[in-house]
Structure 1
């Protein structure tokens, strides 16, 4: 090893003379190109330094230190950097370990430095706690004193001398050095103090900053993985003969967000207090507990401050960055939201900007200027630079991430009044950012997740002085996304919470009960929804009066769910009564009045008057265009309903054409992935099939299915419906056995999602039985419908349309299985119930008359069949028109049975114009 002891160096042109001392790096002396000696004294002569040499103190190794992936990355990066310098490539000067306070950056740097020194890779290690420029210069000065014998009184000169000594020199003996600049708080502090790039030197920086001014390749240090967290806690407790269940330790690590500093302090607290991990988790969950109460009295591993204290200093510094004074109030907003992803639009919304403006640093001569969205983004960037948040504009739905403990520490620093005000401000920001039409399903999911996080962090603030709108919006969004059971449960919790906080008669409580009843119906319990609305009505009348809009809305829902429960005629009549009150109270053009007209049309159609329904929607459409505009979702829905009821009148091709015209408008207004757009595609496929193109319908549904899975998920009711209808049209196209098999695969998924008693489960079972019959197993179909019928009566009621349809199918398949007389008898029992429930002119009533006549004939009474068809035909013509397929079938059967009565015609196939499998 060459001796780098400080000396009076002499050099002449042509190189060093024999006997000259040659220093590592050549920084002790200068050579004169003229051959004249130049003398440089750095201090008094001193004994030679022992090599390898260390300047500064490496922080002690933390107990149960985890060897992490960053250790490997760091070693590879530093080695690669040195190799690049050696071959003359451009290279950054070192490596920067960056991350939020508490992730273990210093421990990783210390592990690397200690390992490099002990393994003989270094001649010189300089460890400097470089929290400011003075500290960095002092560290360099100490190295100069140790290595060069510099004057300790002149710190700046000594620091410059050491950095000059580190510069590589030609023909100099190599010195392998590592400079660690730990805890750099501001890159500007290191201006003029960065170590040089050197073939044999390495620089390592730890910092919370991520500024571009940091010289070096950035390595972001993250949290422990789940496995690392569990290993750390297990080892820390095992060292003190403490054993905790792995599941409790894993849950504790999750509660602490896998933050190494928090885990170490938690382990110390468990040991010092002698409590279990479960008890510590209860302490953390207690709203009355602050983070300081959950920290040990003496911090472990030589830690000097809690994580909360370290973060507070970072916030102070972030607040000084441009735009000054906005980082802290921005972090306060983010502290109430989802730590794993906040949409940037929430934090740049009008309520958020108002909050930031109120906290902008005021000048002496004027009030603060309103904060712009760009300045709000600047505040996010300032927080990101200090590693207090992660800001990624490229992922707008999860643009901002912030550790849950930073959030908690931020909230705990607020006064109770500040906390409640900020919670409501954040709720308003979330509501403002929530689009009325959820075209972007990923954004909607992100907003719902943030609303859930806000509900947890806000405490009682969202119920004072009244319920905040974000609570309703979150539940509505769940339902609109198809998560109807979750929506029902959401509003059930809200109703109970509002009743507790605000009282059972408070309007917010009544509104929550209203939504609970609505989504109860959407979840399949139509009768229960109608009953719940009937119970709610007198409370609304008592609190808000008979003519209040909310009272009228309850009457609306009673009528609607009465229809969904099977009483279509009763629903239509109830809506007729409601319409006059709505016109009187709200006016003819009020959107609610127009919606009532829409429902009158709908339930007329459901009661059997498809032509009347189509005509009513045709009258409604221009009014909706005039009042709401062509692009309003309600206008598009009116076009949807008009197309549907046109199809139900027998014009399937016209319905398909209308849905084809509607689809591009849905895409333009609501987006390709909006549930209503996907429903329009579904209806377009359905009516193509009804118009005779079963293969085309199947192909369209096959294209739709992956989009529904992608947008709504595999378990969404609409996705399951698409699978069912895809099976149906494949069956209609000729593969009846395949249809039955596909529906059999849908059934367990429907049971898992919807539950045993859901009407859609009955529909799936209905269709399995139907296609089993179409595949040739008539007896099996009859048996399946016989098993289904009592379930349908129990769940839906004896008079529900689907129950009547199940009776119809049971009769039909009995006949196809060979029991013509039994089929006729069952149709004869069904007919008066269909007349009573649906009316004499409903298409399904006419179909029952058709089948009763047919099976009478097949049972041997050809004359009776002919007479029955003769009575049926004029009713078919009057109700459905001369050219309707069902009318033509009736004329064909009349002719057949007349001839059969004279025994002049062979038997035809059984009637195919029965109700199609349900959709």
Structure 2
């Protein structure tokens, strides 16, 4: 019987006496509240449910995540009893266990069996199974769990980091009994700030291949080793139960296979499909002793068992290759062997390049189809050589790292080069031009990184494969500019070592390195790098080469962004002359030079000159490229912007509305350039005085960007900045401060503390603190921002001067040097998405 029980947070709740009617007085902000009168019997069978304050109906007990199905002929190993005994009795449990050991020894199955037992015995209220192969996966799993237990109150913004934090807070404060399984932790660093709290009502179970001391410190480590001889024999007898006579020799076979569960599973499948006895298998096994040189990674298998898995794989893949569609399993496994073991997208394995390779290696005269490859993947799955998940197209095929290693070791260097190039072509073909799905982009980058390692140096023969450049650009386009800088620095070093520092690909890597240095906030570093690159490209390629001219364009652009607007104008004027001379006045690169020149004339204060140049440029681009060409649409975007800057806000709004209609029709509603037009239209509505319309448009735009680009994309962060700004302009200063505080945290995490957009967020936050009445806080933040902008940009950069003026304003020196025009303040606080970027990334 339960009387008057509740669970609440953040608020004051008064409970009346048991003789009174059950009524609670609640004050403050209450996140969850449950009131129960008198309950007889089992609480779960009494129809008692908790209701979240957002209307979500919570039911207990509950599960999060999908556990793997129970293995066929699962063995109740000694470790199963050890884990159960370690749990203790009388309601006490150890805080955490770490199941550590070689991949393939059954850690996940042991964890799943233990979890099922506790769930079946109703010893837990929450069972959460989290696939923990990466930090992103852990955060995503926590976010899903937060939603399930009613703690994800921010689902509209899809802020998984915030949701995961809420889930960890819930674990720390809840009275519920919970079991959290973190399956397949790849790196202890992934659990930094994500390790669940140690609570008497909760238990954590980790499975991992790692043996790091950091994991041992987090919980009691239980080493998961090989099957015992008795377990191995029992397993084989169970698998061969329908053909009991075939089990003769099971003890000898188990010993020959080193009692490794994965090897036994493969062998049992081979036995059943070939209708062989254990003794017959042993004879074939002995015939393949020439494979004794196949040695897995040293940390994966003990010395006594080094040849076991490789030999078993050799026999199993031959059988898989004979299954319908015959001849395809082996070449498919070869491609999978050079990619990420944690998941390979279906699109990569069924791309034209992959199909062409598999067709050639299979010896077929007719082309292999995508469905044939999927069937071949299921053949590998049958022989335990791969795991197929048709419900996850981004990670549809997973291959054990030992199987991959054994497969690669079978390849000659020439064959490995062919596989590597085919896999690289497949990744390139399937890489979307615009990464709408941030998670998919990360998977493609991880597969490319794995390929680069496994392919040795074959991706640089005869030239650096373009997928290596695409993987770097993908990082920057996802907002990871600092990561892109590191990537291209390593790519240049490796390319220079293999191909020489003057090779076209080495020079191209330097160009990308410089570009992303600038995007990451190191504008002076970008200028220095581009200046040196210009000298080298002029020497190697000549002054009129397209790549040399592109370097001049990029150098001029970053000079402008550094604050040297006059220098940018001068360089673009000379570049325009040289491009017209070398390429002609109607060449796309010449038109791009005109666009950049118009931009910097506008930035210099000549808005009318910028408008005149963009109007003529629009006529020429329309004539040369057509109305619907992206460059033509970009020109219309920039023309509308400068109309507004010249004082014609209504004209800017009219042009943006028409541009938005046309871009939606030509590019689609989810194209980043369409979203850019929506962003700029919203801003000009606000600047024209329609703040309510601006807020409405920004809210709709943010929803679209979260869905299309994800929460961490730079454009999404910009949409959040603009929404916060217009909320402040509408008078909701407190909300503006709250949103800018969270935005600053996210920009620092994603783009880095010195990124220009991060500095802008700091300036915005300081401004609204001052508007809220916190003058001292505004002054303090502006002082710190001024020091950082002085350090990063120098004393004469426009942004540095603006910060200095804002600081003077809040200090009260408005008569001396403070900003006097509201438009200047507004321009510094709102983010306009333009379409002017460096000419080319060669």
Structure 2-normalised TM-score? 0.62
| Structure 2 residue aligned with 1:337 | 339
Aligned to 1:459: 456
Report the equivalent of 2:318: 316
Q: In the alignment, what sits opposite 1:680?
A: 677
Aligned residue in 2 for 1:176: none
Could you report, residue by residue, the CA deviation over 1:99-157 in whole angstroms, capped at 9, with x for unpaired residues?
xx96779x99xx9xxxxxxxxxxxxxxxxxxxxxxxxxxxxxxxxxxxxxxxxxxxxxx
The residue aligned with 1:824 is: 815
1:458 Cα deviation (Å)?
1.5
Name 2:641's counterpart in structure 1: 644
Aligned mate of 1:705, from 702, 706, 725: 702
Alignment of 1:232-381 (within 5 A): 290-291=295-296, 295-296=301-302, 298-299=304-305, 306-361=308-363, 368-381=365-378
Give the length in aligned residue pairs: 593
Deviation at 1:566?
0.8
- Does residue 601 of structure 2 align to residue 604 of structure 1? yes
Report the RMSD for the aligned CA atoms in angstroms: 4.3
Change (3 A) 1:581 1:388: same
Question: What is the 5 A alignment of 1:465-480?
Answer: 465-480=462-477
Residue in 2 that maps onto 1:739: 736
| Aligned mate of 1:517, from 514, 519, 525 | 514
Are the aligned partners of 2:79 and 2:224 in contact in 1 as well (CA < 8 Å)? no
Matched, 1:595 2:567: no
In 1, are the aligned partners of 2:769 and 2:775 still within 8 Å (CA)?
yes
Return the match for 2:535 from 527, 535, 538: 538
Q: Secondary structure at the match of 2:829?
A: coil
TM-aligned CA deviation for residue 559 of structure 1 = 0.1
Name the CA shift for 1:435/1:547 in 2 (closer, same or farther; >3 Å).
same
* Alpha-carbon distance change, 360 to 435 in structure 1, aligned in 2, over 3 angstroms: same
The alpha carbon displacement at 1:490 in A equals 0.9
Q: 1:376 to 1:623 in 2, by over 3 A?
A: farther
Quote how far apart the aligned CAs of 1:826 are.
3.1
Deviation at 1:523, TM superposition (A): 0.7
Q: Is the 8 A contact 1:233 1:249 kept in 2?
A: no
1: distance between equivalents of 2:823 and 2:214? 73
Shift of 1:711: 4.8
Q: Distance in 2 between matches of 1:766 and 1:586?
A: 43
The answer on whether the counterparts of 2:294 and 2:409 sit within 8 Å (CA) in structure 1 is no
Shift of 1:553: 1.1
Structure 1 residue aligned with 2:431 = 434
Alpha-carbon deviation of 1:515?
Answer: 0.5
Larger displacement relative to structure 2 (452-461 or 560-569): 452-461
Secondary structure (helix, strand or coil) at the match of 1:505 reads coil
Residue number in structure 2 paired with 1:577? 574
Whether the 8 Å contact between 1:440 and 1:673 is mirrored in structure 2 is no
CA distance in 1 between partners of 2:627 and 2:688 (Å): 28
Change (3 A) 1:704 1:317: same
Shift, 1:331, TM fit: 1.4
**1:246-298 deviations in Å (ceiling 9; x for gaps):** 789989999xxxxx999965999xxxxxxxxxxxxxxxxxxx98318764465
Q: Distance in 2 between matches of 1:372 and 1:585?
A: 47
- Mapped to 1, the partners of 2:208 and 2:720 lie a distance apart of 45
SS at match of 1:291: coil
1:354–1:780 Cα change, 3 Å: closer
Q: How has the CA–CA distance of structure 1 residues 691 and 410 changed in structure 2, closer, same or farther, with 3 Å as cutoff?
A: same
| Shift of residue 462, structure 1, vs aligned partner | 1.5
CA distance in 1, matches of 2:297, 2:757: 53
- 1:781-804 Cα shifts (integer Å, max 9, x gaps): 566545543443332222211122
Q: Tell me, what secondary structure is at the counterpart of 2:815?
A: helix
Distance 1:248 1:779 in 2: 47
CA contact (8 A) 1:517 1:533 kept: yes
Say whether 1:444 aligns with 2:435: no
In 1, the alpha carbon distance for the partners of 2:728 and 2:219 equals 53
Task: Give the alignment of 1:883-894 within 5 angstroms.
Answer: none
Which residue does 1:152 correspond to in 2?
Answer: none
Using a 3 Å threshold, how does the CA distance of structure 1 residues 688 and 299 change in structure 2: closer, same or farther?
A: same
Superposed, which structure 2 residues align to 1:104-253 within 5 Å? Answer: none
1:324 and 1:361 in contact (8 A); partners too: no
Structure 2 CA distance for aligned equivalents of residues 724 and 557 of structure 1 = 27
CA drift at 1:382: 3.5
Alignment partner, residue 835 of structure 2 = none
2 CA distance for matches of 1:540 and 1:599? 22
> Displacement, 1:632?
4.0
Deviation at residue 552 of structure 1 after TM alignment: 0.9
Assess, with a 3 A threshold, how the Cα gap between structure 1 residues 439 and 716 changes in structure 2: closer, same or farther.
Answer: closer
- What stretches of structure 1 of length at least 5 have no aligned partner? 1-57, 70-100, 112-222, 235-241, 255-259, 269-287, 363-367, 828-847, 852-910
| 2:757 aligned residue | 760
